Amino acid sequence: MLSVRDFHAGYPSVPVVAGADLEVGPGEIVALFGHNGAGKSTLLKGLFGVLGACRGRVEFDGAAASGLSTRALTRRGMVLVPQDRGVFPSLTVEENLKMGFWASGANEAAEYERRLQRALGYLPLLDERRRDKAGNLSGGQQQMVSIGRALLAGPKMLLLDEPSTGLAPNLVDDIMALVRRLRDEEQMSVLLVEQNVGQALAASDRVYLMKGGRITHEADPDELAASENLWTLF
Ligand SMILES: Nc1ncnc2c1ncn2[C@@H]1O[C@H](COP(=O)(O)OP(=O)(O)O)[C@@H](O)[C@H]1O
Ligand SMILES: [Mg+2]
């Protein structure tokens, strides 16, 4: 689904990601772990076309995708749920969701209703809060809005940047369960950056470790969970 070779990304005069290689297969959840500052968010933003001046070879859904804009990538089915969630606080929950629909280039009312009902099926809490201003929701609920907005774009692949950070433990479980359902029921591919390593290991099919702007290890989640030197790898 996604294949990345020798990827470089950063900020003006700050190179961060320096030659990252990774693959995410169809219907696969791949976790990406690394210390703060390792370059995880920069990698995701770079892949999603948010940063200028990235280079490397990227293939997405069977076609070359190097240098594509965020808009083009969204239309092809890749969506980033950013670490800061990017929710529009003064818009209602449903207006936020609608932004995802428009971002995908779709505009048919019937298709909107279909995607909306499907997303609300996964995120029933948002149905109750549909007309509330997103800014009045809790952090966990805003994370659901951010994921819901991504779902309204009809994605084949989600890039999730720390979806569970700062959430209460029961919400962390909810988010992980949701990610698994999206894989199992929608065959979605997921690249999942997480600080909640234990839960992410339980949900993921494969794991990468990132350090200093590169992918330094690839691992099997069960082996890594059982590994005594897990932390020395970081
Ligand atoms: N907007 C920015 N401008 C300049 N440097 C940045 C910016 N955002 C992040 N960085 C730097 O890039 C490095 C990697 O950050 P980031 O990708 O956010 O790491 P992670 O998500 O793994 O914690 C850090 O050293 C950080 O200071
Ligand atoms: Mg980050």
pLDDT band at 234 (very low <50, low <70, confident <90, very high): low
Contacts of 160 (CB under 8 A, 6+ apart): 81, 147, 179, 190, 191, 192, 193
Give me the architecture of the 1-77+157-162+188-222 domain, per CATH: 3-Layer(aba) Sandwich (3.40)
Question: What are φ and ψ of residue 230, in 5° steps?
Answer: -45, -50
- Tokens 């720390």 correspond to 162
Q: Is the pTM of this model over 0.75?
A: yes
Say how many C-beta atoms besides its own lie within 10 A of residue 81's C-beta. 25
Q: What is the pLDDT of residue 94?
A: 98
pLDDT tens per residue, range 75-94: 999 999 999 999 999 999 99
- Tokens 């809060």 correspond to 129
Q: Which ligand is nearest to the CA of 82?
A: 2
> Could you state, in order of their start, the residue ranges of all structural domains in the chain?
1-77+157-162+188-222, 83-155
pLDDT tens per residue, range 42-56: 999 999 999 987 999
Q: Which ligand is nearest to the CA of 10?
A: 1
CA quadruple 208, 175, 144, 234: dihedral sign: negative
> 3-state class of 203 per DSSP?
helix
Q: Which residue, among 53, 44, 18, has the nearest Cα to 157 in the 3D structure?
A: 44
**Nearest residue (CA) to ligand 1, atom 25:** 37
Pocket-forming residues, ligand 1, beta carbon under 6 Å: 11, 14, 16, 34, 36-42
